[in-house]
Chain A
Amino acid sequence: MSDQQPLVEAHDVVKRFKTRSLFGSGVDVCALDHVSLNLYPGETVALIGESGSGKTTLGKILLRLCPLTSGTVRFNGVDLFSMGASELRQARREFQMIFQNQLANLHPRLTVGEMLDESLRLHRPELDQAARQAQIEALLGEVGLVDKLNVRPARLSGGERRRVGLARILATRPKLVIADEPTSGLDAAIKLQMISLLKDLKSPETTYLIISHDLGLVRRIATRIIVLLKGRIVEDFPASRLDEGFEHHPYTQRLMHAADLFDANGDRRAHKAPSVVEEGFLDGRTDAILNAEGCVYACDCQRGSDLNLIHRCAKERPPLVEVALGHRLACFAAAKEGMSTPDNAPSTDETLKEKV
């Protein structure tokens, strides 16, 4: 996989928000703290993490929907943040985003057919009226909404709105689709339908980045999982390594325990981690102001009785290092017990440079 040219390369992305208070300049909130990642053609990558960890911000930055403080994002080798306005609009056809807020994707006063027609006119100007009509019907057929051609969004259910949003995005034939919480707010049956739709409609060369804290979705669809915590990538691993009992970041383990995905012995109840599976754990908005020096998880980490390690975690930022092929991990403790030592492994920043 890694010998391919990456579709998206984000290097050392930093995003700071300034919060304003009545007097003075307020606090600097670091939403993304030196994030580097590559997305390769055909992958389905899941970006998971608690609310406020910077998932959506990262998604938006990868599509240049909000400015970044520093770093670079390349799409197909072209620097996204140095493109001109019209060049960028042209390029946007290639990378699309499904927003979490479904009403943001759809215009309340346009029918489904009119909306798709508008997208096709914009992105596929070579089609004539009849061809567009045929294309609209084909797209609605793909998402199973043929009978909703002349319906306005107000009369669609939540699941149907999402499917219209998906059809609209597919109309542009994008290379990259970023889906922000594609299944939030859907009931179990519709959720499954949405997941299988996402799977079925994915062509082999399309890349998906799925932003979610629905681990059921991630489990079913992702080929790679990136865990974001307080603006830092703490782990990046192939989904196949979920099952095989590899060493993971303690935060990843906590997430997975909470979602019941690490039930190696088959007994689901017995393997919940103690005291971390309270209701709403994944929604707990943690303070985004960073402990800039040490590990972001140092305070909550239940690992290591080793005092040296605890001291190191609080003082030194663990680098994101490749512990195995395609598995990056930012943890002193896990890496120590794992397959290779972080001190010997090359830093990812260097490997990134080699790839570029």
Chain B
Amino acid sequence: MGGDHPSQECKAPSTPGSKKLRSLPLGLYLSGGIVALVFLLGLIAPLIPYDPAAAVDYQRQLAGPSWSHLLGCDGQGRDIALRIVKGTEAFFWPGILAMTIAVIGGAACGACAGYMRGWVGQAVRGLMQLLDTLPRLVFIVLLCTILDPGMYLIATTAGVLFIPTIAAICRRKVETLASEDYILAHIAHGFHPAWILGYHILWLQCRPLLIRQACTVFSYVLFVETALSYLGDYGVQEPWPSWGNMVAQTREGVGFWPWFVPAVMIVVSIAALLAFGNAIARREEAMR
């Protein structure tokens, strides 16, 4: 309840001064910067050579931050900064994969379900409802126990499980416009229905929502990866680094630095991704 109050205040009419202050997209820049940093790390990580066996050096076990090791070293003397950078590999491309699957699949299914009146639309709607009933994390863990566990399996499953959410958003938009005669008027003008659905509705109208959802899916993959890696059975396995299994080192009683920085990275990245998606979507929606 307490959390609702400030946002309600924000909606109240404000003086021009505070409006100007709020229109400064601080949140967008801040979250955008963090997202850009994470993406940059994800892109350059594969280029950095890393041999998990050679990284071990018990001489510098649990060393604190220094100029040669910016964030210090962990229980096996491995450089924490390097492991954080390499750790982005664990979720970056899987995250992109899940995002792509969810957005493309969701937009296509949503457009079909909203536009097609016959059995095709009915079948798509049914399938979406069925998919929507699956609890995501439980289903992913279940699949991991049956199939060969790996980040790409996890990411594909997460992407597919997000399709109904995105499809529902697109479908609502299509149905609203259909009831406003918009689609009919543009068919009457001579446009191809695929153009109306793809460009007018999905690209122009649903884009902000899709961006928001894409960020949500990406952050979800990051969350699932760290959770599973933390638990240890299905995520990224030692000695390969992941933010999740770095945090898991707390169980070995390794002092402060080895788990603190990855934990902060997880929280900040997820928060920034969600905030960035929201900020972009809001700016797009406000564009009139």
Contact surface of A with B, Cβ cutoff 8 Å: 60, 63, 65, 89-90, 92-93, 96-97, 99, 101, 103-105, 107-110, 119, 122-123, 152, 154-155, 168-169, 172
- Mark contacts of B100-134 with chain A using CB atoms, 8 A cut-off: 1 yes-contact digit, 0 otherwise: 00000000000000000000000000000000000
Q: List 22 A-B contacts (CB under 8 A).
A: A60-B184, A65-B184, A65-B187, A89-B191, A90-B190, A92-B188, A92-B189, A93-B190, A96-B188, A99-B181, A99-B188, A101-B185, A104-B180, A107-B182, A109-B205, A122-B190, A122-B191, A123-B190, A152-B288, A154-B288, A168-B189, A172-B190
Contacts of B204 in A (CB 8 A): 107, 109-110
Q: Give CA–CA (A298, B1) in the complex, Å.
A: 64
On whether the beta carbons of A109 and B190 are closer than 8 Å, the reply is no
On whether the beta carbons of B192 and A89 are closer than 8 Å, the reply is yes
On whether the beta carbons of A104 and B184 are closer than 8 Å, the reply is yes
Contacts of A155 in B (CB 8 A): 288
Contacts of A123 in B (CB 8 A): 190
Contacts of B180 in A (CB 8 A): 101, 103-104
User: Most chain-B CB neighbours within 10 Å: which of A89, A101, A103, A107?
Assistant: A107
On whether the beta carbons of B185 and A99 are closer than 8 Å, the reply is yes
User: Most chain-A CB neighbours within 10 Å: which of B184, B185, B187?
Assistant: B185
- In the complex formed, the residue of B with least CB distance to A152 is B288
* Number of chain B residues close to chain A: CB under 8 A: 16
Q: Give CA–CA (A152, B191) in the complex, Å.
A: 20
Contacts of A169 in B (CB 8 A): 189
- In the complex formed, the residue of B with least CB distance to A86 is B192
Shortest Cβ gap from A342 to chain B (Å) = 37
Contacts of B191 in A (CB 8 A): 89, 122
Q: Give CA–CA (A65, B187) in the complex, Å.
A: 8
Residue of A97, A103, A122, A168 near B182 (CB, 8 A) is A103
On whether the beta carbons of B185 and A105 are closer than 8 Å, the reply is yes
Contacts of A152 in B (CB 8 A): 288
Q: Give CA–CA (A65, B186) in the complex, Å.
A: 11
Contacts of A92 in B (CB 8 A): 187-190
On whether the beta carbons of B181 and A109 are closer than 8 Å, the reply is no
- In the complex formed, the residue of B with least CB distance to A66 is B184
Closest 9 CB pairs of A and B: A92-B190, A104-B181, A104-B185, A154-B288, A109-B204, A99-B185, A104-B182, A97-B188, A101-B181
Given contacts A65-B188, A92-B188, A99-B188, 20 further A-B contacts (CB under 8 A): A60-B184, A89-B192, A90-B190, A92-B189, A97-B188, A99-B181, A99-B185, A101-B181, A104-B180, A104-B181, A104-B184, A104-B185, A105-B185, A107-B182, A107-B200, A109-B205, A119-B189, A122-B189, A168-B189, A172-B190
Shortest Cβ gap from B73 to chain A (Å) = 52
- Mark contacts of B190-213 with chain A using CB atoms, 8 A cut-off: 1 yes-contact digit, 0 otherwise: 111000000010001100000000
Contacts of A101 in B (CB 8 A): 180-181, 185
Residue of B189, B190, B288 near A108 (CB, 8 A) is B288
Residue B287 CB within 8 A of the other chain: yes
- In the complex formed, the residue of A with least CB distance to B190 is A92
Q: Give CA–CA (A90, B184) in the complex, Å.
A: 16
Shortest Cβ gap from A178 to chain B (Å) = 9
